[in-house]
Amino acid sequence: MNDFFMNENDILKYLEQLNKKMKEQNIYGDINLVGGAVMCLAFKSRKITHDIDAIFEPKSKINELVKSIARENTLPEDWLNDGVKGFLSPKANFNEFKKLSNLNINIATPEYMLAMKCLSARVDNINEIEDIKHLIKILNLKTYEDVEKIIFKFYSAEEFMVKTRYIIMEVLEDV
């Protein structure tokens, strides 16, 4: 993992820079945020994230602008990336977060974030475990079955790994 971190203000600043560049080029787009950026911006459960995981359109144009912003601000080139696309569900659920002049920013719903976090959970990643705990609290879930029901709204049983079951049970003991 890199040594680069962004807080809530940084995330918003860089997304506003992206919007400004889009406006200069008369480009309109949408960005759907997931991961640590959502945990910082919407759920206030953590102070920092390493990057902004998102799905966005128009992909190639935004990728170019992201690299330009990285150069101007000495950021890693992948400060905003779509590496999370492998965990996306066709039933993904987003709410509008902020509408800028040329960029609509949407965030994953708490239920969808929980399902994604559970699906991608790594035992050795304390942020992910803490994110899952926080989302379980937000959603006021009490049992393993409650959590599983949410996961299966977005993902099939085949995508659900056994290790995730143990992570969820451990987290529920702490909540």
Domain boundary among 67, 93, 108: 108
Per-residue pLDDT, 164: 84
In this prediction, what percent of the chain has a pLDDT beyond 70?
Answer: 98
Element spanning 94, H or E:
strand 94-99
Q: How far is CA 74 from CA 4, 8, 94, in A?
A: 10, 18, 30
pLDDT at 158 over 90: no
Rounded to whole angstroms, the Cα distance separating 171 from 167 reads: 6
Per-residue pLDDT, 14: 98
Per-residue pLDDT, 72: 97
How far is CA 74 from its chain centroid?
22
What's the whole-number average pLDDT of the chain? 93
Number of domains in the chain: 2
Tell me if 1 is assigned to some domain: no
Q: What's the domain range around 36? A: 6-108
Lay out the sheet containing 103-108: strands in order across.
Answer: 80-81, 52-57, 29-34, 103-108, 94-99
Average the pLDDT over 112-116 and give the result: 95
How do residues 119-136 score in pLDDT, each as one tens digit? 888 767 788 889 999 999
- Tell me the residue length of the chain: 175
Q: Are residues 101 and 31 in the same domain?
A: yes
How do residues 34-78 score in pLDDT, each as one tens digit? 999 999 999 998 999 999 999 999 999 999 999 999 999 999 999
Q: Are residues 64 and 101 in the same domain?
A: yes
- Binned at pLDDT 50, 70 and 90, residue 165 comes out as confident
